[in-house]
Amino acid sequence: MTIQETLLQHIKTAFSKLYKAEIDTVEFQSTRKEFEGDITVVTFPMLRVVKMNPEQLGENLGNYLVKHVDEVKAFNVVKGFLNIVIDDVFYLNFFNTIKENSTYGFKPQTNEAIMVEYSSPNTNKPLHLGHIRNNLLGYSVAEILKASGHKVYKTQIINDRGIHICKSMLAWKRFAPNGSDGNKETPETTLNPDLRKGDKLVGNYYVKFDQEYKKEIASLVAQGKTEEAAKKEAPILLEAQNMLLKWEAGDNEVVALWQMMNAWVYEGFETTYNNLGVDFDCYYYESDTYLLGKEFVAEGLKSGVFFKKEDGSVWCDLTADGLDEKIVLRADGTAVYITQDIGTAIQRIKDYPDVEGMVYTVGNEQDYHFKVLFLILKKLGFEWAKNLYHLSYGMVDLPSGKMKSREGTVVDADDLIVEMTNTAKELSQELGKLDNYSDQEKHTIYNTIGLGALKYYILKVDPKKRILFDPKESVDFQGNTGPFIQYTYARIQAILRKADFNTNVTLSAVETSLHEKEKELIKQLELFPEVIQNAAQNHSPALIANYTYDLVKEFNSFYQNVSILGADNQNEKVFRVQLSQVVANTIKNAFGLLGIKAPERM
């Protein structure tokens, strides 16, 4: 039981005995540094239950706790704040319960499953910086939900159909040169080394389509067409639209081309996911799901959830809920995106009956879409719809400006990973930190530092906020950065390697007393389980990231103020090494929730 839980029970009893009143919740805070105490009770909210001076209430509660709670050693009251001093014995006993627990803070998994969707790319281009934030957020939230006790399925829906896919297919068909084998270039035969990764080759032709499309528009405008008419009548666009119709009709040649080019992209995506360190348990493809949902529109019409307009189109009236009317079926009977999303959500529950909720990791430009989707699913009567969550996030910008896929101005995910590794290499060489390592060891560490810097910089920010990403700033070895935390972890590992004595003992309160810095560090460790639960409830890796930074700052203060291996007696040495070990394990576990590796040496 945490000290907060212990105090809560006794404060409830105190209210009953002292005031014949009941109190449900108590607000706790860490005691401010300038006051004596370990934990603070805020008395102001309690004045709703008992009408009295907040300082007198604090005095009364403090006296009760000192008398009835063994862990409470002393107290002081500052205005409406009751600062409580907790006996060292509590913290030592708490530490002894966690020091052998390698998964401290993690809850055992229950059968309550959540499906987390992230990535969900289009198969006409490589992954870019925006996808990186999406993947890092989705993967981290999935890991945090697991640590909080949930069973989790990681999934994505791959957008593998539509006009944008046909654009890259048509451009390849028209403009691809012959490869080394005399046939049209493939990732294996291309003479351009930059296009040997399948998603990059396909993305190159998506850009090529846009270039040719613009040329045709300019030509039509020169012939007297309006720009709007030229955009609609450009021959290359009409041919791409015709290709889409052939794909939907199952044309053998078009389908074969689609399958071949998509296979190139999937292989390229998998390489990027491996390099980024994210994974998936199951996949959905839009080519399989785009017809789903129509049967539920028919059922919704019967139950009155939907209504039909004169032209035959089907709508859902959400005006009473503060939203608009939403079309779910066109007049010609074809589905819209919301229809397919309704069908896909229902299909996922059929495929995974233990799923009780879903998290959709999608940018904030889709906020309205998900409000509508979740509301319609509730209106259709699905109980699980109340457990749907849109993990909405802001854009990622670089100092160079906004990205545009069709113009080829995106920040490629693979290139960024390489750039981060190279940036880590440059800074490490300047600092001379890895002079005694082999080239292979150096490269591994550079990659670990670079990726850690990228992930931490993105994940330490609240998902809803927009980010201006600066690669060099992220790889700083000082401040609230991934490399700073990784370096502290590596420093602890160096201490543990030097500890050439038996630390596998349990020390009692009689055998050791706590230095102020040791106590502060244990108090920070005590917060970890609560931080995981809060991060899971709020779908926010930022809470984990910033907790880890606070823990590292507390350790560095401890490291600078007390001697670990040069302590005055053996018991102090043993305890401080044990404490360092638990801090290292907690850093590693917290970073694992962010998808970041903690290197043994740096």
Q: What is the pLDDT of residues 215-266, one digit of tens each?
A: 999 999 999 999 999 999 999 999 999 999 999 999 999 999 999 999 999 9
- pLDDT, mean of residues 452-459: 96
- pLDDT, mean of residues 16-30: 94
493, HSE (Cβ side, Cα atoms, 13 Å)? 15
How confident is residue 43, by pLDDT bands cut at 50, 70 and 90? Answer: very high
- pLDDT, mean of residues 292-314: 95
389, HSE (Cβ side, Cα atoms, 13 Å)? 20
Q: For the range 250-255, what are the long-range contacts, defined as Cβ-Cβ under 8 Å and sequence gap of 24 or more? A: 254/169
pLDDT at 212 over 60: yes
Residue partners of 53: CB distance under 8 A and separation at least 6 = none
Q: What pLDDT does 404 receive?
A: 45
End-to-end CA distance of the chain: 37
pLDDT at 406 over 60: no
Q: What pLDDT does 428 receive?
A: 81
pLDDT at 568 over 90: no
Q: What pLDDT does 408 receive?
A: 45
pLDDT at 509 over 80: no
Domain regions of the chain by residue span: 3-86, 162-265, 294-334, 413-593
Q: What pLDDT does 398 receive?
A: 75
Q: What pLDDT does 400 receive?
A: 63
Rounded distance between C-alpha atoms, residue 303 and residue 291, angstroms: 21
Q: Is the dihedral of CA 184, 188, 189, 195 positive or negative?
A: positive
Q: What pLDDT does 433 receive?
A: 67
Q: In the chain, how long is the greatest CA-to-CA distance?
A: 94
Q: What pLDDT does 411 receive?
A: 82
State the DSSP H helix or E strand holding residue 108, giving kind and residue range, or none if neither: none
pLDDT at 279 over 50: yes
**Which has the higher per-residue pLDDT, 245 or 402?**
245
pLDDT at 114 over 60: yes
206 contacts 405 by C-beta, under 8 angstroms: yes
pLDDT at 572 over 50: yes
Rounded distance between C-alpha atoms, residue 100 and residue 80, angstroms: 39
pLDDT at 484 over 90: yes
- The proportion of the chain whose per-residue pLDDT surpasses 70, expressed as a percent, equals 98
488 contacts 494 by C-beta, under 8 angstroms: no
Tens digit of pLDDT for each residue in 576-592?
Answer: 999 999 999 999 999 99
Rounded distance between C-alpha atoms, residue 217 and residue 124, angstroms: 22
Q: How would you list the strands of the sheet with 388-393, edge to edge?
A: 282-285, 151-158, 113-117, 355-363, 388-393
Which one is the CATH code of 3-86: 3.30.1360.70, 3.40.50.1820, 3.40.190.10, 3.40.50.11750?
Answer: 3.30.1360.70
Cα–Cα distance list, 358 to 110, 155, 201, 310 (Å): 16, 10, 34, 36
pLDDT at 482 over 80: yes
Q: What pLDDT does 409 receive?
A: 53
Cα–Cα distance list, 292 to 284, 306, 336, 442 (Å): 12, 17, 10, 50
- Amino acid letter for position 592: G
Helices and strands of the chain, counted as H and E runs: 21, 14
The full length of the chain comes to 602
Q: What's the whole-model pTM score?
A: 0.92
Tens digit of pLDDT for each residue in 341-352?
Answer: 999 999 999 999
Helix (H, G, I), strand (E, B) or coil at 489: helix
Q: What pLDDT does 402 receive?
A: 45
Of 561, 575, 550, 589, nearest to 30 by C-alpha is 550
2, HSE (Cβ side, Cα atoms, 13 Å)? 16
* CATH architecture for residues 413-593: Orthogonal Bundle (1.10)
Q: What pLDDT does 146 receive?
A: 98
By mean pLDDT, which of 171-185, 446-460, 530-544, 549-563 is the weakest? 171-185
Helix (H, G, I), strand (E, B) or coil at 7: helix
Of 456, 424, 305, nearest to 372 by C-alpha is 305
- What string of DSSP letters covers 486-524? HHHHHHHHHHHHH--S-------TTT----HHHHHHHHH
Provide φ and ψ at 468, rounded to 5°: -105, 110
Q: What pLDDT does 189 receive?
A: 92
Q: What pLDDT does 2 receive?
A: 83
How confident is residue 407, by pLDDT bands cut at 50, 70 and 90? Answer: very low
